[in-house]
Structure 1
Amino acid sequence: MSTKPDDSDAVYANLVDAHCHPTDHPSTLGCIPKLRTSRLLVMGTRSEDWEAVEQLATDHPAKVVPAFGIHPWFAASATDASLATLKALLARHPAALVGEIGIDGVARDRATMEVYPLAPQLEIFKKQLLLAAETSRRVSVHTVRAHGHLLAALQDHLRDDDKTEQNGDAGDKTQGRERSIAFPPAVMNHSWSGSVETMRAMLAMKPGGDRLWFSFSTGVNGRSPKTPERIRAVPDNRVLIESDLHDAELIDAALWDACRMVADAKGWSMLETAERTRRNAKEFLGETC
């Protein structure tokens, strides 16, 4: 479906970029206040860029939601000190997400040209997932050709939680109930490229499945003929859009294209798609619609 040209202001007023990296391209940060896109969820990927994300959120509190995390590409260099710094950052920013974290099965270290090993990725991912659960933070997850590992990691987290409840003091029922839902309040799978079957298996998890969102970008998802089917499979109230861009000057156009991609797949108008994804983003963030 198409939208009239005079609807563009209304569309942009509702667009929320659920995942982007403008601090990686600092020369374009000056255009952030001028973006027509209403809000940006800005990702941190390693301790070296957390300060820049924090400053951007401080400079533009109405526009930028910060996220701090250790990306799977940098998992091998993560330390206990990194995690301690991450915990302190979250304490300073009560609305911040844990992100971008995750698992990547194909990316290569540019220095060695070897695929990043999975073991350290899984270890740091699980530690950050636990931190997000313990601090009740939303999460943004990166997964590339490792969706089975992601599903297993989420299921392991829930099983470990059940073991804690079963091994706890039987007389402390309140503690048991709290541990049984020790899962992050919301987990967004950014630029989802996994199968519909894996998505459905994740949504069926109890607890946890009711806390999952799936986001799409044209830069990653626009290349796959399977994307429309994946978008259609996402519950209407769990779909998000994103740019996944580093250059802030390109975010408006990329978000418009992502909105169009979801609109075409769902059979919605552009304005309906923008409004729905805005409401979904607010729910993901735990905000009142």
Structure 2
Amino acid sequence: MASIASIPAMKARTLTVMSTRSQDQELVCEVASKHGLHDGKTLLSPPLALRDQGRIVPSFGWHPWFSYQLYDDTVSNPTYDGTPAGKIAHYDRVLAPTPSSKDASFSDGLCDPQPLSEFLDETRRRLEKYPLALVGEIGVDKAFRLPVAWTSAEETSREEGHTPGGREGRRLSPYRVQITHQAAILRAQLELAGRMGRPVSVHGVQAHGVLYDTIAGCWKGYEKEVLSRRQKRQIATGAEDFSDDTDEDSEHDATPNRKGRPQKLAGDSNKGTKPKLFPPRICLHSYSGHVDQLKMYIHPSVPTKVYFSFSMAVNWGTGGGEKTEEAIRAIPDDRLLVESDLHIAGEQMDNSLEEVCRKICQIKGWDLRGGVEILGRNWREFVLSDSK
């Protein structure tokens, strides 16, 4: 929060600011109330002319790192019943390995789980308050391990200014959040975004198959019909083409499965019979998947527009530069976004954004001015949809 005061002087026109856990939801609201972007028209004004307004698009979500703190109270057998014993039972069910079998005191040091329905209601109210707000950051992460509890010495030496609830250099425990629990929390937030018609920012680490399956499960039954070349020719000419064109027919008449191979469309029998429970636009932030995986998201049958953003801190800071550059070359120009993925605003964030813009322009072979215009237009269309 100490860096918020530097936002009005930043070179970046507007920042999309993510919440992640209970402690920062209201802080994002606080920042948006002072610096929030209220409509797309103000994006045409230069940054320094605005100063204290029109610089922030808030985003409200529960990150997978903290998903263990929620329990799904919408199911018939919730993992938590509100008792001390129920707290231990909840963490035994959603964490692996089972904490009570390794360290009986570990779960005691964790917070009491919160009901998922309550968080969703709070998020819905925040989205109503901020009409341009997104849902995020949400997702799945197989690599994350919970930090251990604070020691008394660590508590006294904590740096001021950090939002509570983060790791802040604590050692990591052996415990991970069960991927099925993460996927359930993700699915609930995706469905909320679908009901509210809001874009989402999605985190995915070492779980790209689960991530795709969870997102695709939301749009099942709404896949777009994709015509083969033969069908397109028939429509264009008004006559049937009886030529044996098997190879061409099989090129675009299917949706990809999670391994990138096509499977026949299930049809659209569900269309019009239930509300859309998938977001209108999705950003896979600091994308770390392979080219074959990203192709599943940009297949013509996918009924939502999926974007891919990249950051210097993650995509090049963790040694994945070659894979990242291969992915960037394969992504359509209108699906690319940039980000800092930093928690400190100001000059450091501006520099990080400039560096990733230059990097993507170099990879794509764009001139710098033209490339920045493309990236800016992509961001406006991701956040606002109809902004040009």
TM-score where L is the length of structure 2: 0.62
1:3 match: none
1:248 aligns to what SS in structure 2?
A: coil
Give matches, 1:36-185, under 5 Å. 36-61=11-36, 62-78=54-70, 79=115, 80-111=117-148, 112-159=173-220, 166=269, 175-176=272-273, 179=275, 182-185=277-280
Structure number with larger C-alpha Rg:
2
Give the number of equivalent residue pairs. Answer: 254
Distance 2:7 2:352 in 1: 14
Structure 1 position 185, deviation (Å):
1.0
1:282 aligns to what SS in structure 2?
A: helix
Distance 1:277 1:161 in 2: 29
1:199 match: 294
2:154 match: none
- Deviation track 1:205-238 (CA, whole Å, cap 9, x = no partner) reads 6233x51000000111113121111111110011
Give me the CA root mean square deviation: 1.9
Distance 2:61 2:185 in 1: 10
Say if 1:72 and 1:102, in contact at 8 Å, map to a contact too.
yes
Residues 182 and 121 of structure 1: CA distance in aligned 2, closer, same or farther (over 3 Å): closer
Distance 2:205 2:34 in 1: 32
Distance 2:221 2:195 in 1: 14
Instruction: Check if 1:235 corresponds to 2:329.
Output: no
Quick one: which amino acid aligns to residue 67 of structure 1? Answer: S
- Deviation track 1:164-185 (CA, whole Å, cap 9, x = no partner) reads x847xxxxx8x33x64x54211
1:27 aligns to what SS in structure 2?
A: coil
Quick one: which amino acid aligns to residue 2 of structure 2? Answer: S
Say if 2:142 and 2:179, in contact at 8 Å, map to a contact too.
yes
Distance 1:98 1:205 in 2: 24
1:213 match: 307
Structure 1 position 269, deviation (Å):
1.9
Say if 2:63 and 2:137, in contact at 8 Å, map to a contact too.
yes
Structure 1 position 160, deviation (Å):
6.6
Distance 1:276 1:141 in 2: 22
Which structure 2 segments of 5+ residues have no match? 37-53, 71-114, 149-172, 224-265
1:132 aligns to what SS in structure 2?
A: helix
Say if 2:190 and 2:277, in contact at 8 Å, map to a contact too.
no
Say if 2:193 and 2:277, in contact at 8 Å, map to a contact too.
no
1:11 match: none
- Deviation track 1:181-210 (CA, whole Å, cap 9, x = no partner) reads 5421100010000010010012116233x5
2:220 aligns to what SS in structure 1?
A: helix
Instruction: Check if 1:264 corresponds to 2:358.
Output: no
2:387 match: 288
Structure in which a larger fraction of residues adopt helix = 1
Query: Which of 267, 274, 282 is the equivalent residue of 1:187?
Result: 282
Residues 183 and 253 of structure 1: CA distance in aligned 2, closer, same or farther (over 3 Å): same
Say if 1:99 and 1:141, in contact at 8 Å, map to a contact too.
yes
2:11 aligns to what SS in structure 1?
A: coil
Say if 1:106 and 1:116, in contact at 8 Å, map to a contact too.
no
Which of structure 1's runs of 4+ aligned residues deviate more than 4 A?
A: 160-163
Structure 1 position 119, deviation (Å):
1.6
Distance 2:60 2:121 in 1: 12
Instruction: Check if 1:275 corresponds to 2:373.
Output: yes
Identical columns (%): 37
TM-score where L is the length of structure 1: 0.83
Structure 1 position 158, deviation (Å):
2.0
- Deviation track 1:22-42 (CA, whole Å, cap 9, x = no partner) reads xxxx11111010101111000
Say if 2:192 and 2:277, in contact at 8 Å, map to a contact too.
no
Query: Which of 339, 343, 364 is the equivalent residue of 1:246?
Result: 343
